[in-house]
Chains A and B, each alone.
Chain A
């Protein structure tokens, strides 16, 4: 194993962070809180500097919590006045929490959709009304990308859309800024589109997982009602921004996509499963069946019919589920040991107004996730929001759901750098754009994103939630 200097620093710092709290005695923090603080340090440093893959850190977090904080662990075997240790099943149980199962359903659907070319055929059909004017082609591409990435991973959507736009880019003059606009519109739309549904991107899962631990259930459809109007506005802004920054010279552009819907029996089964699952998800508020339960429909249906095979199941992105589960697990201890409350208690929150609070969380989330994984950003910030709300420190005006949404959505608004998100990295690697293009457009997107999150958090979300 060869570690870079950054990774080596991360390894050493993380281990120091784990051990040091054992030798400290912090006032107002329980003994278990000290242990949780150590684990939190280690997780945060490992996730940020990545001496190990982030999913590996996530399982490590679950394991450490079982060893050091559970009833079956080494230290806290008895219930005490200050700490009631959770059973180890609480920690490993996060791997099968409802949000994980919801994602599993989403993975199986997306996987089968790629296998039977549903994503590409939908793109072909949906793009055709947009004609051949560059402005509308870009708009069409962004709408389709956002729509697909709301149900598939942003990264897989970007890869697919690259196969659509690269031939177009190749036919455009080398000095036409439209090339840059095209190459940037895909990752931007994918990042933004992921916000639209609970299964769109893992930060949404972190938010929903944390809220459900507090007994708050956000139905699939309600998330969409909360998030989609924001997605539409930010997407339109991105469209105008890219066309203004990179004004197309070409008058017309030809999109060349041929193909036909797969009409094999398996493909038809997939279309039906896809349609019904999404329909039941969106209508959760009407029939009341939880989205995680509905998520089992495609899993059951597609495996029974052999549409999804053993090989397909093996290739699912399990590490994402581990990553999210690790985050949820960390949240359990941060709350039960009083650590989260202690962290937020050290800041004088009540002096902040609602606007300042939302802005702080939003800006911090955007800045962090420009450099870190979006999921890690959400995972590290959400427990703070949760304890702020449950401890009552922040005062009356603080709404847990709204601040959680602010964090989750803001984490997806980071698109300044190639390392900000995998879709950005893919677009960058085509060689069509330079980092400066991405930074300039992505910075503006970040500012606009924060402003929109603020407006929605102040005026729209309270309207829906109350």
Chain B
């Protein structure tokens, strides 16, 4: 079985979590979605996913969380070699300029979504980030063409000397 690429959502407010998970439904068949209410819980989920031989492709993370805040969680995760390449997106209304700069510089933050978001906006961010991930990690692009940016994945295949057998 091929390894699964997960989307992880870290958010403490239940309604916001529901809204996010709902908006991510169209990706579920290709990218299973896992959720966590705090950084601590998120770390356990991350360990479980990697323990099962799978990976996290994308983390959507709130900033204001009980305990460790979102930016610090992302920085900690970024320092870990295995999770270094996972795409990291802040979904928040409350991260100040300083936190955001910190996240960009230290966690290689890939995108910032300001609350409230629209479904189209979220879709396009998720598609772009996961397409980046599939290409950077040299995953089989054909698995994800139907849901991600098919033109970019096809272009990637064109440039990578596909051969006939």
Within 8 A of A (CB), among B49-107: none
Q: Which of A66-74, A239-247, A372-380 contacts B (4 or more CB under 8 A)?
A: A372-380
Determine whether the beta carbon of A429 is less than 8 Å from that of B143: yes
A contacts with B, residue count (CB < 8 A):
35
Would you call B19 an interface residue if the criterion is a C-beta within 8 Å of the partner chain's C-beta atoms?
no
Q: A220 to B154, alpha carbons, bound, how many Å? A: 31
Q: A429 to B155, alpha carbons, bound, how many Å? A: 14
Q: Which of B38-46, B109-117, B123-131, B144-152 contacts A (4 or more CB under 8 A)?
A: B144-152
Determine whether the beta carbon of A114 is less than 8 Å from that of B159: yes
Residues of B within 8 A of A345 (CB): none
Q: A202 to B164, alpha carbons, bound, how many Å? A: 7
Contact of A156 among B147, B150, B161 (CB under 8 A): B161
Determine whether the beta carbon of A315 is less than 8 Å from that of B161: yes
Would you call A425 an interface residue if the criterion is a C-beta within 8 Å of the partner chain's C-beta atoms?
yes
Determine whether the beta carbon of A421 is less than 8 Å from that of B145: no
Within 8 A of B (CB), among A4-58: 54
Determine whether the beta carbon of A320 is less than 8 Å from that of B164: yes
Residues of A within 8 A of B146 (CB): 429-431
A237 CB, nearest partner CB in chain B, Å: 22
Q: Which of A94-102, A157-165, A173-181 contacts B (4 or more CB under 8 A)?
A: A157-165
B86 CB, nearest partner CB in chain A, Å: 24
Would you call B162 an interface residue if the criterion is a C-beta within 8 Å of the partner chain's C-beta atoms?
yes
Would you call A140 an interface residue if the criterion is a C-beta within 8 Å of the partner chain's C-beta atoms?
no
Q: A201 to B165, alpha carbons, bound, how many Å? A: 8
Would you call A422 an interface residue if the criterion is a C-beta within 8 Å of the partner chain's C-beta atoms?
yes
Q: A373 to B163, alpha carbons, bound, how many Å? A: 12
Residues of B within 8 A of A155 (CB): 157, 162-164
Would you call A194 an interface residue if the criterion is a C-beta within 8 Å of the partner chain's C-beta atoms?
yes
Determine whether the beta carbon of B154 is less than 8 Å from that of A166: yes
Residues of B within 8 A of A160 (CB): 154, 158
Contact of B165 among A114, A163, A374, A429 (CB under 8 A): A374
Would you call A319 an interface residue if the criterion is a C-beta within 8 Å of the partner chain's C-beta atoms?
yes
Residues of B within 8 A of A162 (CB): 150-151, 154, 157
Determine whether the beta carbon of B145 is less than 8 Å from that of A167: no
13 further A-B contacts with Cβ under 8 Å, apart from A202-B164, A374-B164, are: A114-B158, A119-B158, A153-B161, A155-B164, A156-B157, A163-B151, A316-B161, A317-B163, A320-B164, A376-B165, A422-B162, A426-B154, A431-B145
- Give me the 3 closest cross-chain CB pairs, A-B, nearest first: A431-B146, A317-B163, A162-B154
